[in-house]
Each structure stands twice: as C-alpha cells, then as structure tokens.
C-alpha cells in the first residue's frame, strides 16, 4: 500500500501530534515517521499502514494514495472501447451491451449501451441508483424510455434520434435524479445506442454516514426533510443549532418575527444576508432552489430544443444537452468541430471532462510542461481530460462533451467563495508537509 505523505502530514496536524508523539504512541521509530513525510509516496506492508492509521485514529484509506491520480489526458480508441463490451441479460433476454469510455482507474466513467430489448416488449425496470445521470440517444434509431410501473405519458416516452443534416446533435437527452427507476427498449427494428454519464452524488457522503445511524436519529432527520427541506426548514435547523428561535434571531437584526417570516417568503436577500452575518451562517442556504424537473424528477431536452441553443463559442459550433439546476455539476454539450473553421480554440475547464467522438476523425490536442500532444480519434474514440488542462479539437468531426463535479465542482466553489483568502489558502495547503508548529 502506498502512503501519501501529504495526507499523513494533514492527519498529524489534525490530531496535534508531532512525529515524536506518533512514534511513541505506536512504539515505532521516530526517524521512520519523518522519512514517511518526504514528498514522495512510500510502499509499505498493509500491516504497517494499519499501525500508522491506528496511531492517527483513521481508516488506512485516509492516508493512502488515491487510485485515480492521473495528471494528464487519457485516450481510448474505438477498438479499445469495443474490448470493454459486456452483455447484460434481464427479464430472460439479452437486454443491453455495455461499453466503458476512457477514464482513470478508480473514477466513474460514462458508458455506452446497445439497446437490445426489442420493440413491442415492455422493458423491465431497474431499481435506480444514488448517482444522477445524463442520458443521450446516439441513434440511429429511437428508443422508448420507461421510468415507472404505470406506462403513462410521464413514464413511457420516446427518446428520438436526429436524422436530419445536423446529426452532430445526436438525439434527445435527459437528466435523471437519484434512485429514479429507468429502462429502455427499441421503438422499431432500427438499432439504437445511448450514452449514460453517471455523475457523483453530493449526497453520497451523507448517505454513507446515515447507514450507521440509529433508527430514531434517522427518522428524526427524514421527518424534518419530509416537508421538502425548504428555506423555512433549513432556517429552523440553523437557529436551533445556535440556540436561537425566530423571535430571538429577528430581534438580533432589529425586526419582528413576522417581518423575518415575510423576508423568508419574499426571499429578501438583504435581510437574510444580515441575518447570516449576525448568526454566522451562509444565507444562501435560505434561498429557494430553481427546479425544472417533471413529476418523476426528469429534466428533458429534445433535439428541436437543443437546436434552439446552437451557438458558436471559441470557434466551435455547440448545442446544449439536458441540464438541471438542482444538479449543477452534471453538464453536457454537442460539439461540431468543423474543419472549414480550422477547428476550435483552446479550452480549459474547472472540472473533469469526458469526450466521445460520434463522427469524423477530429484531433485532440492538449498542452502541458512537455509541450503539445496530439491524437486523432475516430467514431467511438473517447478521452478524459482533467481539470485545468488546456486542450483543443482540430480537424473535422462531431464530439459529445460530458462533465461532472470532480474538482472543482459546485460544493467546492461554494466553499471557496466562503473562504478567507482562498488563493493563499490553496497555496498553503498544496502539498503541505509543514508540521503544526510544535515539532521542536
């Protein structure tokens, strides 16, 4: 197991332990601890890692190196994609072929599905999953989507493919929420595929924590959230945490309880901001979120609606995929690279990006300290580009762009906008091997 020296230093600081303290607590050599704090990884026997973790009162995974530590672009050819094919049988028939796109080990990657459930057969539902997803019809045929037991206009819909000249917009797309049952079948004899991009859920850490809660604690939280966890629910929770009620909080900012209630209903950001400053919480938690979902939680964008979003950005012709404001990290776009324009300009995203080539043979270029790198990919070629790596598409072809919130996403931006001197904080924390100041 490889110990990460920066994680080790962090936990020494968090536990207020010097290397001498840690060595004494674990009956280990102090110099060994100091050697482990050098800025390189160290491969150790799992038993030794367990002893280190025991001293720090953490899980061994909290001091070991991430499996997904790729620094640069990862590419995958169409042949390599096809090698990942695996058949899934459901309801007694061949149901899907799955293929995995380019991604570092240890991270969720988009998958492509051949839809095999034939027309005229109702596809068996799955149980949904915690992670939300963008799903896009790649064509050439249309598919039926199913999202519930009852086959009504809400839960039984066609996701069309685009058969017009602007096939770079491949088809209808939609965003599904956590634990939304879903399944697909063909509409007719025309074969069809989809790409499904499963993004990380911002609730995952909370859900994992809840698994260890007692029934009464869990029931108390779910009862609070049963009304929808709106601004009033959040405000009352924040006030109770601070041993305030609405009357005392209102008095603190010089208004009545009624005026505070009116400000909450009216979303009066001036008063809510004053309240947040007085009680030391982020008033943005009291703002009502923007929802665009249907009654089953889906947010769709048809081909015609995608056409309405077509624009030219940085030399690329682009159209939007479905997106949902309640899932701001889950993003997608159709890209027409366009050889007649000489390709597009350089891109640099704040979070990871997955690309899938759907037509032509465009060239992906990316730039790092070693210079410019290039690879030409045909249809079904894919690439993963980490955050803040400059890159560009040249030549002629069509590409799907998909992204999640893995560094730097919604929650990280929310925290950075709250942080005192964020740039200085990032610089100080980057590869931090400083002790906590009492080593000597």
Name the nearest CA neighbour of 145 among 377, 256, 302. Answer: 302
Distance CA 44, CA 41 (A): 10
The 10s digit of each residue's pLDDT in 227-246 is: 778 899 999 999 999 999 99
The answer to whether residues 129 and 203 touch, using CB atoms and an 8 Å cutoff, is no
Give the pLDDT of residue 340: 57
Per-residue pLDDT of the chain (440 residues; tens, 9 = 90+): 888 888 888 888 888 888 888 888 888 888 888 888 888 767 888 888 898 999 999 989 888 877 555 568 999 999 999 999 999 999 999 999 999 999 988 777 899 999 999 999 999 999 998 889 999 999 999 999 999 999 999 999 999 999 999 999 999 999 999 999 999 999 999 999 999 998 888 888 888 899 999 999 999 999 988 877 889 999 999 999 999 999 999 999 999 999 999 999 999 999 999 999 999 999 999 998 888 899 999 999 999 999 999 999 999 999 999 999 989 999 999 999 985 566 689 999 999 999 999 999 999 999 988 899 999 999 999 999 999 999 999 999 999 999 987 788 888 888 888 888 889 888 888 888 877 677 65
Give the pLDDT of residue 339: 57
Measure the N-to-C terminal CA separation of the chain; round to a whole number of Å: 30
Stretch (H or E) spanning 354: strand 353-360
Which residues are bridge partners to 7 per DSSP?
Answer: none
Domains of the chain, earliest start first: 2-65 (1.10.260.40), 74-201+295-403 (2.60.120.10), 231-286 (1.10.260.40)
Name the nearest CA neighbour of 237 among 225, 254, 253. Answer: 225
Which residues are bridge partners to 357 per DSSP?
Answer: 399
The answer to whether residues 337 and 315 touch, using CB atoms and an 8 Å cutoff, is no
Distance CA 89, CA 140 (A): 22
Name the nearest CA neighbour of 383 among 373, 369, 371. Answer: 373
- Which residues have C-beta within 8 Å of that of residue 93, sequence separation ≥ 6? 116, 117, 118, 121
Give the pLDDT of residue 70: 56
The answer to whether residues 200 and 143 touch, using CB atoms and an 8 Å cutoff, is no
Distance CA 407, CA 349 (A): 10
Stretch (H or E) spanning 8: helix 5-14
The answer to whether residues 8 and 32 touch, using CB atoms and an 8 Å cutoff, is no
- Write the burial class of residue 307 (CB in 10 Å: 0-12 exposed, 13-18 middle, 19+ buried): middle
Within the chain, what is the greatest distance between any pair of CA atoms?
Answer: 76
Distance CA 206, CA 412 (A): 16
Give the pLDDT of residue 281: 94
Total-model pTM: 0.89
Give the pLDDT of residue 289: 83
């Amino acid at each position: 197991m490889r110990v990460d020296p920066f994680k080790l230093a962090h936990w020494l600081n968090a536990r207020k332990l010097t290397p001498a303290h840690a060595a004494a607590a674990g009956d280990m050599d102090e110099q060994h601890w100091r050697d482990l704090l050098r800025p390189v990884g160290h491969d150790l026997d799992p038993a030794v890692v367990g002893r280190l973790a025991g001293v720090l009162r953490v899980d061994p995974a909290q001091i070991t190196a991430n499996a997904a530590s790729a620094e640069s672009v990862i590419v995958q050819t169409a042949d390599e994609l096809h090698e990942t094919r695996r058949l899934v049988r459901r309801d007694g028939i061949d149901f899907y072929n799955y293929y995995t796109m380019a991604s570092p080990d240890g991270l969720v990657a988009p998958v492509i599905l051949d839809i095999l459930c034939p027309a005229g057969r109702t596809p068996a539902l799955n149980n949904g999953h915690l992670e939300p997803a963008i799903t896009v019809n790649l064509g050439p045929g249309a598919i039926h989507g199913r999202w519930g037991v009852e086959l009504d206009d809400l839960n039984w819909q066609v996701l069309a493919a685009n058969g017009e000249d602007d096939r770079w917009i491949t088809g209808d797309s939609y965003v599904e929420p956590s634990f939304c049952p879903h399944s697909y079948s063909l509409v007719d004899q025309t074969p069809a595929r989809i790409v499904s991009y499963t993004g990380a859920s911002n609730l995952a850490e909370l859900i994992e924590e809840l698994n260890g809660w007692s029934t009464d604690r869990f029931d108390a939280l779910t009862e609070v959230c049963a009304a929808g966890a709106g601004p009033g629910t959040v405000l009352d929770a924040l006030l109770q945490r601070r041993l305030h009620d609405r009357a005392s909080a209102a008095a603190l900012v010089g208004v009545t309880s009624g005026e505070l209630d009116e400000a909450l209903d009216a979303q009066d950001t001036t008063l809510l901001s004053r309240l947040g400053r007085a009680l030391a919480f982020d008033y943005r938690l009291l703002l009502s979120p923007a929802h665009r979902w249907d009654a089953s939680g889906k947010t769709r964008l048809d081909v015609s609606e995608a056409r309405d979003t077509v624009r030219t950005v940085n030399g690329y012709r682009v159209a939007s995929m479905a997106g949902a404001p309640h899932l701001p990290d889950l993003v997608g776009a159709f890209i027409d690279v366009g050889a007649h324009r000489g390709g597009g300009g350089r891109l640099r995203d704040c979070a990871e990006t997955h690309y899938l080539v759907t037509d032509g043979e465009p060239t992906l270029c990316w730039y790092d300290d070693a210079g410019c790198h290039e690879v030409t990919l045909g249809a079904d070629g894919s690439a993963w580009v980490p955050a803040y790596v400059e890159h560009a598409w040249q030549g002629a072809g069509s590409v799907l762009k998909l992204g999640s919130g893995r560094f730097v996403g919604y929650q990280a931006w929310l925290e950075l906008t709250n942080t005192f001197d964020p740039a200085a904080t990032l610089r100080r924390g980057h590869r931090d091997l400083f002790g906590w100041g009492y080593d000597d």
